[in-house]
Amino acid sequence: MSHARLPVLFEALYDGERHVGFGRPEEGVPQTLYRVQDGQVAAAFIATDGSQEALRDVLTEGAATVVVAAGDPGLRFLPPLLPAATGNALLSGFMGTHKKKWGGETAPEGAEFIPPKWFFKGFGDWVRLPGEVLNVPARPVALIEEPEVALVYVNDGDGTPHYAGYTFGNDLCDIGLHRQDPGYNPYCKLCDTALTPWLFLGPPPRTVTGRVTIVRDGATAWEGPFDCGDDALYHRVQDMADHLFTFPAVRRPGLVNYVLLGADEASFHDGFRIADGDRIAIDVKSHGVTFENRVRYVSPAPATTPAPLATKAPEPAATA
């Protein structure tokens, strides 16, 4: 089975109500959506083996249906399994995971696992979708696009994580700030991240290849390839995930986790600098997925910290 034909599930709001669909919508082809409740799809991954057949059986039985066409204005896609309640999903990821950053080597078999650096990006409802604007601070040092695989997990009532599948994203960040001082990395990551709504069912992909195109003023300003599958990584995906889920903070019952696996070298490493208004188009050729987002520099908000109160000068001492 080609990657482009792997089973896919997605959730969307249609006329304000939550639905699930199977397979990616195709232009001109009607698609049946099934009405679901918030959290119902996530619960199905806990209750079944996560296969398309089992999920379809659980989620479609007795469900109200609606037939829509791609591009229907009443259809709004959602990040995979995103809960309606703010704070019930986390977006985080690993750094320095690619072989390119380890001299082309992979972690030796049987050796003690030394985990890569990890970062917290934000809550799940901070995720942006394809076509939406990616906001960044007004004065970045040097931005970098990062096409990545994002693994999706949902925790059961005991906090045990259940792997659901994977999707793709662009973890935009300020690598220039990070290079000034690695301790600034939490600031570096305070840029919006895009995820596609398509949840690929199956194990993390061994091969993910594609191409990035950055468009400025209607013309291609930079383009280059990327590789972010398991075979391109120094660390083994299972080792990284197992280590992350030893921390209770990411095992809260009912929590959905989006876990980014790290990025290949990109436009920054080629000397290019992303500017305000640039459009970043990512073509995941191995999986037939394309998405695009525009970058917007956001002006600082007015100061929110009150100025210190003026100190009254002491009265001069009385003289006799």
pLDDT tens per residue, range 178-231? 999 999 999 999 999 999 999 999 999 999 999 999 999 999 999 999 999 999
Which residues are registered as beta bridge partners of 8? Answer: 200
Mean pLDDT of 296-309: 79
pLDDT computed for residue 311 by the predictor: 63
pLDDT band at 1, cuts 50/70/90?
Answer: very low
Give the pTM: 0.92
pLDDT computed for residue 100 by the predictor: 87
Q: Please say if the pLDDT value at position 276 is more than 80.
A: yes
CA separation (Å) from 210 to 51, 226, 311? 26, 5, 61
90-99, 108-117, 151-160: least confidently modelled range:
108-117
Percent of the chain with pLDDT over 70: 95
pLDDT computed for residue 316 by the predictor: 65
Residue 46 φ/ψ, nearest 5 degrees: -75, -35
pLDDT computed for residue 293 by the predictor: 98
Q: At what angle do helices 52-60 and 40-47 cross, to 10 degrees?
A: 130
Domain layout of the chain by residue ranges: 1-77, 79-298
| Exposed/middle/buried for residue 119 (C-beta within 10 Å: 0-12, 13-18, 19+) | middle
pLDDT band at 314, cuts 50/70/90?
Answer: low
pLDDT computed for residue 312 by the predictor: 65
CATH architecture of structural domain 79-298 = Alpha-Beta Complex (3.90)
| Exposed/middle/buried for residue 9 (C-beta within 10 Å: 0-12, 13-18, 19+) | buried
